[in-house]
Amino acid sequence: MRQVFLDTETTGLSAAGGDRIVEIGCIEMVNRRLSGRTLHYYVNPGRSSHPDALKVHGLTDEFLADKPSFAQVAAEIAEFIGGAELVIHNAEFDVGFLDAEFERLGHPRVATVVGGIADSLAMARELFPGKGNSLDALCKRLEVDNSARDYHGALLDAGLLAEVYVRMTRGQKSLVIDAADEAGTDTALPLVDLTTFELIVVAPSADEEAAHAAVLADLDKACGGKTVYLALGAQPRMA
């Protein structure tokens, strides 16, 4: 199964109102392992970011001035995500911006070129109802290191999302899969007849017996003579 973890940064919150994408990051995973393929672009949106958006991503007009337009990278983006299942945190937001950008160029909408869209925010709300389910909150809850996240960055966030997704969907502790895990869980193991093994019982020494009795006596004293073990008439003897 091929999946692409995708994140965007934008000039504001309203694609319908004319806000544009300023950064896109994609990370490919095949059969739940990172393939090493990524796609990352800063994009000149042709307009300034809203001050609140700028506080989130830190991408100034001056920085974006010499970056390609979305039109210049649209074909590569469409090729990279084509046929894959997209995994996006709050998918409606990012897909809405991508659709708006593609429609300006006469390209098909995202849903028509990908194999499916999974919203990790909806998944998290189902797994952790009533709790904060932002990407930062999930990183903290699932012990994913996000210490490098000073600003929101599309490629960094896509990588964090991949880690979070794997932990949410099967409890795997890391994207690094060892040989035993790679072998799968369907491997048939030989049956072993345990009756063929001799159980060795090691008898306690006199000193061990005495030490055990002393511990029981201390416990009995501490609980006011209510030790069930002694109340049943058992002798303080190690098994």
Domains of the chain, CATH where assigned: 2-182 (3.30.420.10), 190-239 (no CATH)
Q: How confident is the model at residue 223 (pLDDT cuts 50, 70, 90)?
A: confident
What's residue 74's pLDDT?
98
Active-site residue, from 89, 107, 152, 212: 152
Q: How many CB atoms lie within 10 A of CB 23?
A: 22
Q: Positive or negative, the Cα torsion across 6, 21, 16, 109?
A: negative
Residue 46: is its pLDDT beyond 90? yes
CB under 8 A, 24+ apart: contacts of 204-213:
204/237, 204/238, 208/238, 209/236, 209/237, 209/238, 212/236, 212/237, 212/238
pTM for this entry: 0.71
Query: CA-to-CA distance for 168 and 187, rounded, in angstroms?
Result: 24
Catalytic residue status for 89? no
Tens of pLDDT, residue by residue over 163-173, are 999 999 975 44
Residue 239: is its pLDDT beyond 50? no
